[in-house]
Structure 1
Amino acid sequence: MAIGSALSVGLLGLKAFIVQVQAFVSPGLPHFSVVGLPDASLSESRERVKSACQASGFHWPETRVTVNLSPASMPKRGSSHDLAIAASILSASGVIPHDCLEHTITLGEVNLDGTVLPVQGLLPIMLLARERGIPRMIVPQGNAQEAALVEGLEVTCIRHVGELIELMGGDARYRIPADTPAASSCGADAEPFTPPVAGDMGEVVGQHMTKWALQVAAAGGHHVIMVGPPGSGKTMLASRMPGIMCPLNADEELEVASIRSLCGTLPYFGISDVPPFEAPHHTASNAALVGGGSGLARPGAITRAHRGVLFMDEAPEFSSQALQTLREPLESGYVSLSRAKGTTHYPARFQLVMAANPCPCGFAYGSGERCTCRERERVRYFARLSGPILDRIDIQVEVPPVDRIGGDDGRPRESSRDMRRMVVLARTVARERFAAYGWSCNAQASGEWLRARTSAKVIASVNHALETHRLSLRGADRAMRLAWTLADLGGRVSPGVDEIDQGIMLRTRLR
């Protein structure tokens, strides 16, 4: 009896788990089977692995070959286990030593000609390997840049199954296609990522009030909706929001990069301290927004926007059902998706930035003389943003049309760098204040904490707004969070009446 083994890693959402791959080559009629809850793409690895091994000079055994993926109770998906399956069969057949892959994770999709293709989700897998103390990894050459991001691991990048055989001390006969990228280091010599650069707030003409509101939102982690006519700069302002937000720390960078690795977009973004920015189209489905898919759910836009900005342009054009799916993630900061093969949990702590026209034609502002919409159409248009959704949005600001492009009213245009400096100072104050509670910004503070540490005069102003129905109870807490953010930006120890009045104004501006 010959049994070979190798280690691979599976992903259940962002949660990685070790998969032990065992191959049993036994007497019997020629047959190749893979067991252990593989999905369709993993079951098809039989043909890929068999052809790839033969392309490396290995004579496939004319006997029964059984591959088991354990733990058998966990679903395994994708083609990233191909290389580990091939390695276990090579080990069981004596082509490579039986113990050569001990304490080594092997990952990669194999082609019919034996070339090894890159895989998605390598970063969370490498973080698991480092956490478990597994010292070595063998990964595809196409993942060299991503493999260089995690220190403390001995990572070898290969291009062909034949290279794996030679690396383990075996003999192989193979030919690497000419169009295959040349081998390079998986370490510090790998070519670094070049993340895209965001635009600058100084490029936006006018809109000083809106810029201030966005600065308050960035300083306190508050959600925003901007309402104004077409061409007033709403989209341009929102796209520059990440440039004024507090840079991500090292843990947050790896968290965001892990999500991008799982989605296959890490080669474009790399590891960056700039918060992510996601802008789904208004025709996006529920699954595209919150995540979905058959078998195990994939991340949606709200997860890709984790630690950053989810921008919903033309917000009233989104379906009511899609908008309602945001309610729970806005409160909890994560989303749980149950599908046929299991439940996946994805982080979704994002800042929501919405933009909307005042009516379907967009010109119901000022005197409204240019508006061609009927009253019923205007009411129906904005009614798609339900009360529970709007109540969760801290800042509601009007974006008026710009009436001049020269001079900017003699007021200097503040750059993103200057705005971010103020945001970082305010966030630092809030982080120190909430160090004992695990909160990082005012938007996460509990209502009980706010009410216990806010002055009686401020509470009286909030009570008056409650009595006159300007605020709901949830809105009262959010107005106090805004007041604390305004106090942090102004260098005050705690908010006063001016700050709470401004906070209430920011919440009720559209009303």
Structure 2
Amino acid sequence: MLAKTFGAAVYGVDARLITIEVNVGQGTKFFMSGLPDSAVKESEHRVESAIKYHGFAMPRNKVVVNLAPADIKKEGSAYDLPIALSMLKAAGQIRAGELDKYVIMGELSLDGDLRPIKGVLPIAIEARKNKFKGFVLPKENAKEAAIVNDIDVIGVSNIKEAVDFFEGDIAIDPLEVDTRDVFMAELNNYDVDFKDVQGQENIKRALEIAAAGGHNVIMIGPPGAGKTMLAKRLSSILPPLSLHEALETTKIHSVAGKLGSNSSLISTRPYRSPHHTISDVALVGGGGNPQPGEISLSHNGVLFLDELPEFKRTVLEVMRQPMEERRVTISRARVSLDYPANFMLIASMNPCPCGYYNHPEKECVCAPGVVQRYLSKVSGPLLDRIDLHVEVTPVSFDEMTANRKTESSEEIRNRVIKARERQAIRFKDKEAIHSNAMMPSQMVKDVCEIQEAGRTLLKTAMEKLGLSARAYDRILKVSRTIADLADSDEIKIEHLAEAIQYRSLDREGWAG
């Protein structure tokens, strides 16, 4: 007898419908076809143990399981539940008339309990797209799937509960989640705030500019100057996620299995801070079973690279293309996957190995030429892609102990939102551009017009600092953002001068 159920395979950040066909006939062997990996093949043993535990019998006839389409590789253990239900129906042990009206996914433990799976959100979206009645899945993943409307999300704890539901012996109400309520409840719910930072007003200003225009930042300063503390607060001044951005971000974290049980919607901007020992695959994504990397997990948020020169050169260089394209393409023999990677990079580093070059009080003990060699660990092309170079100096005791009230993240964020609103109007006809940092070179000339005095100032700065053509574009983009924060339609010379100062840490001019 033949039985059919439906599941899904996740590729990149999207899902593709998979048909699970089981035929029980004459013979004694178990066969599985459809390009399954080892985890899928091992489902035979998990399924046998699970169904026996709940009083069903493993068919002793010939069992053929086919996962179609057969030219797509099937990976992971999430096919256990649909295979088990199809097998029981094909063997005549259950009737389950509506089995083919649901997408079914779930990993079985040996006692028949269901374990949470990855990629639930894109699977739910694919199920709705294909007009399925519902989605049956582990209860721990139900909240995540329930943010997709117009589909019944049925969370079950074990295979017996799934069988009873399809047999009509029990009724399980579909889980409903009000996406907007969840979204608004967690919106801008950050654990850190700029009001806790005393001093460092120039760094706060630089980070405000970065947030307003979506610019990348590097902070150079001695140990203990507050670089990491400031970086952690950058996401708290970014504009709130839109519902579309929240769904997009949640989808990536769902595919990577980073949401956790009973999670639903990510409504705060991601902040990722990988250690400097990270590999290039872990950073950009890929691997034998391709997964999103840290730069995709920080999509619509912040990627913080602490102690930038300590990262391997190969790791840093693979970021160059994603920083420009705002996506990562992982190519394999059978498949090519795209992961979004529209992130803000904030990096920090010491100015030299000892950490005290240019320190106002402590003396640098590095040998001649060591500072330049240390800075050279970060390539010029990568530094050119970072819009703001900021020198961080230690906070004095008086500033640290002052009782002065400082601006909160909310106050800064309100100014950032107004600047972004100006940019939204500017780029309303440009679908792929949402901030000044995303402008291509040809658009910079039209949007960032400067007067003759500003052109002279910029020429002098370019010659003195030895800046590249890409750095020229970065200065214009940053000056446009500064003008937006000042609610100015034109780029004035003071906006340009402030933007130029944020390139003063280019290696030629700064390390001597």
State the partner residue of 1:330. Answer: 323
After superposition, residues 126-145 of structure 1 pair within 5 angstroms as 126-145=124-143
**CA distance in structure 2 between the aligned counterparts of 1:468 and 1:188, rounded to whole angstroms:** 58
For residue 408 of structure 1, report the CA deviation from its aligned partner: 6.9
1:455 aligns with 2:455: no
Give 2:501's match in structure 1, choosing from 464, 487, 505. 505
Query: Is the Cα contact below 8 Å between 1:230 and 1:357 reproduced in 2?
Result: yes
Matches within 5 A, 1:17-166: 17-28=16-27, 30-97=28-95, 99-166=97-164
**Counterpart contact for 2:147–2:264, Cα < 8 Å:** no
Moved more, 327-336 or 463-472: 463-472
- 1:56-76 Cα distance to aligned partner (Å, 9 max, x none): 322222110001001111111
Pick closer, same or farther for the CA change 1:189–1:420 going to 2, 3 Å.
Answer: closer
Q: 1:374 to 1:265 in 2, by over 3 A?
A: same
Query: How far apart are residue 478 of structure 1 and its match?
Result: 1.1
Amino acid at match of 2:32: V
Kept in 2: contact 1:470–1:508 (CA 8 A): no
* In structure 1, C-alpha distance between the alignment counterparts of 2:121 and 2:405, rounded to whole Å: 43
SS at match of 2:19: strand
**What is aligned with 2:230?**
237
Q: CA deviation at 1:462?
A: 3.5
Q: Secondary structure at the match of 2:167?
A: coil
- Secondary structure at the aligned position of 1:267 is classed as coil
- Alignment correspondent of 1:15: 14
Q: Provide the residue aligned with 1:180 in structure 2.
A: none
Distance 1:59 1:284 in 2: 47
Matched, 1:350 2:343: yes
Name the CA shift for 1:379/1:469 in 2 (closer, same or farther; >3 Å).
Answer: closer
> Displacement, 1:31?
1.3
1:357/1:270 CA distance change after superposition, 3 Å: farther
RMSD: 2.4
Amino-acid identity (%): 37
Structure 1 residues 216 and 16, CA, compared in 2 at 3 Å: closer, same or farther? Answer: same
| 2:216–2:345 Cα contact (<8 Å) kept | yes
C-alpha contact (below 8 Å) 1:297/1:339 kept by paired residues: no
Contact 2:199 2:399 in 1 (8 A): no
Report the Cα distance in structure 2 between the residues aligned to 1:88 and 1:16, rounded to whole angstroms. 21
- State the alpha-carbon separation in 2 of the partners of residues 229 and 281 from structure 1: 19
The yes-or-no answer on 1:443 pairing with 2:444 is no
Alpha-carbon contact 2:105-2:136 (below 8 Å) kept? yes
Offset from partner CA, 1:337-356 (integer Å, 9 cap, x none)? 23465332211111110001
Aligned to 1:175: none
Q: Does 1:187 align with 2:176?
A: yes
Q: Distance in 1 between matches of 2:403 and 2:389?
A: 26
Consecutive unaligned residues in structure 1, runs of 5 or more: 173-182
Q: 1:334 is matched by which residue type in structure 2?
A: R
C-alpha displacement at 1:98, in angstroms? 6.4
Q: Give the secondary-structure state (helix, strand or coil) at the position aligned to 2:503.
A: helix
Contact 2:193 2:409 in 1 (8 A): yes
Q: Distance in 2 between matches of 1:459 and 1:452?
A: 15
**Rounded Cα–Cα distance in structure 2 between residues aligned with 1:148 and 1:402:** 48
Q: Does the 8 Å CA contact 1:109/1:118 hold for their aligned counterparts?
A: yes
Q: What is the Cα deviation at residue 328 of structure 1?
A: 0.5
Contact map agreement 1:205 1:405 (CA 8 A) in 2: no
Q: Structure 2 CA distance, aligned partners of 1:123 and 1:71?
A: 21
**Structure 2: 5+ residue runs without aligned partners?**
none
Judge conservation of contact 1:5–1:87 (CA < 8 Å) in 2.
no
Q: How far did residue 407 of structure 1 move?
A: 7.1
Deviates more, 1:374-383 or 1:391-400: 374-383
Please report how far the alpha carbon of residue 465 of structure 1 lies from its aligned counterpart in structure 2 after TM superposition. 3.8
Contact 1:81 1:109 survives alignment (8 Å): yes
| CA deviation map 1:440-472 (0-9, x unaligned) | 100111222221241343445444444555431
Which residue number corresponds to residue 250 of structure 1?
A: 243
Deviation digits for residues 409-448 of structure 1, max 9, x if unmatched? 7864111010000000100110111010121100111222
Q: Show the 5 A alignment for 1:192-271.
A: 197-267=190-260, 270-271=264-265
Alignment of 1:468-487 (within 5 A): 468=464, 470-487=466-483
CA distance in 2, matches of 1:188, 1:280: 32
Partner in structure 2 of residue 286 of structure 1 = 280
CA distance in 1, matches of 2:337, 2:112: 33
Q: 2:304 is aligned with what amino acid?
A: F
Range with bigger deviation, 498-507 or 233-242: 498-507
Secondary structure in structure 1 of the residue aligned to 2:154:
strand
Shift of 1:475: 1.0
Q: Does the CA contact (< 8 Å) of 1:22 and 1:69 recur in 2?
A: yes
Q: 2:378 aligns with which of 375, 385, 391?
A: 385
Check the 8 A contact 1:33/1:46 in 2, yes or no: no
Query: How far did residue 150 of structure 1 move?
Result: 2.2
Tell me the residue number matched to 1:179: none
- Give the aligned length: 498
User: 2:32–2:64: 8 Å Cα contact kept in structure 1?
Assistant: yes
Partner Cα separation in structure 2 for residue 366 and residue 167 of structure 1: 69
